[in-house]
Amino acid sequence: MTANNPVVAAFVAAINEGDKAAFEALLAPDATMSDDGSDRDLGQWTEREIFSAGGHFTVESQEPDGLSMLARFRNDTWGEMKTRWRFTLTPDGSKIQRFETGQA
């Protein structure tokens, strides 16, 4: 399943392709994120949990706007787990301002 929102779909594709430059281009300059309810350093977290660990995203279900979803997320460190993702876009809808993830 592909994410309904084009920015979120590009986020998922960048992760699955291991394309860090494409991923970073989707983020607002001051983007933030949280994991299991705790704010994290976005650069350190994405490097450790996604890009250095072979992260892969499979969307299982989502809200109609594509900004909230359940996904199976797999990486070489933790294996596969069901996760919840929520995205906040910039006011013009072109970039990700914040994402929140955690085990579902």
State residue 44's pLDDT score.
96
Report the SS3 class of residue 84. Answer: strand
Q: How far apart are CA 29 and CA 81, in angstroms?
A: 29
CATH class of 6-103: alpha beta
Domains in the chain: boundaries: 6-103
How long a stretch of residues is the chain? 104
pTM of the model: 0.93
Q: How far apart are CA 62 and CA 84, in angstroms?
A: 10
pLDDT at 12 over 80: yes
DSSP summary character for residue 95 = S
Q: What is the pLDDT of residues 59-78, one digit of tens each?
A: 999 999 999 999 999 999 99
